[in-house]
Amino acid sequence: MNYWLVKSEPDTYSWDKLVQEKEAVWDGVRNYQARNNLKLMKKGDSVLFYHSNIGLAVVGIARVIKESFQDPTTKDERWVSVKLEPVKPLKRPVPLVEIKANPQLQHIHLVTHSRLSVQPLQKPDFDRIVAAGQSAK
């Protein structure tokens, strides 16, 4: 089981929309590093859902329900998509400022490499963020 974090601008595709639609084809990724991560996703992997630009917080947990396949939005074979479904929202969104303030989370891509839109997470870091999202702070 692997752990990931994906980013989306809520204006473009929000957590609420994922919940509403029950699943999402994660398409439109046009960055090699992010694409490589998509290819590594396995069915059942856990994915944190982060709102960029507006919100700036991790808002929910999703799950990979379909492994990488040709991105339906392009004929270009370089790009792939996966399918995600919502698992549950965090009780409380975990804001970026809080992650940046946590000494144990300084090394994650969200902090060091914020532009990467599909990022791997180590389990302990995934768990820390989820735990923060369950506690009222």
| Contacts for 40 with CB less than 8 Å, ≥ 6 apart | 2, 120
Q: Which is nearer to DNA, 56 or 87 (CB)?
A: 56
Q: What is the dihedral of CA 28, 31, 35, 36, to 10 degrees?
A: 180
Beta-bridge partner residues of 119: 5
Q: Is 43 in the site for DNA (CB under 7 A)?
A: no
Among 37, 52, 68, 81, binds DNA (CB under 7 A): 52
Three-state DSSP class for residue 66:
strand
CB–CB of 120/10 below 8 Å? no
Q: Which is nearer to DNA, 39 or 115 (CB)?
A: 115
Q: Which of 88, 91, 132 is nearest to 110 (CA)?
A: 132
Q: Is 31 in the site for DNA (CB under 7 A)?
A: yes
Q: Is 7 in the site for DNA (CB under 7 A)?
A: yes
Site for DNA in 75-134 (CB under 7 A): 96-97, 100, 110, 113-117
| Contacts for 50 with CB less than 8 Å, ≥ 6 apart | 5, 6, 7, 8, 57, 58, 59, 110
- For the bound state, the minimum distance from the C-beta of residue 52 to DNA, rounded and expressed in Å, comes to 4
Structure tokens at 116: 């990467």
- For the bound state, the minimum distance from the C-beta of residue 10 to DNA, rounded and expressed in Å, comes to 11
- For the bound state, the minimum distance from the C-beta of residue 114 to DNA, rounded and expressed in Å, comes to 5
Among 33, 70, 74, 102, binds DNA (CB under 7 A): 33
Binding interface with DNA (CB under 7 A): 7, 9, 30-33, 52-53, 56, 96-97, 100, 110, 113-117
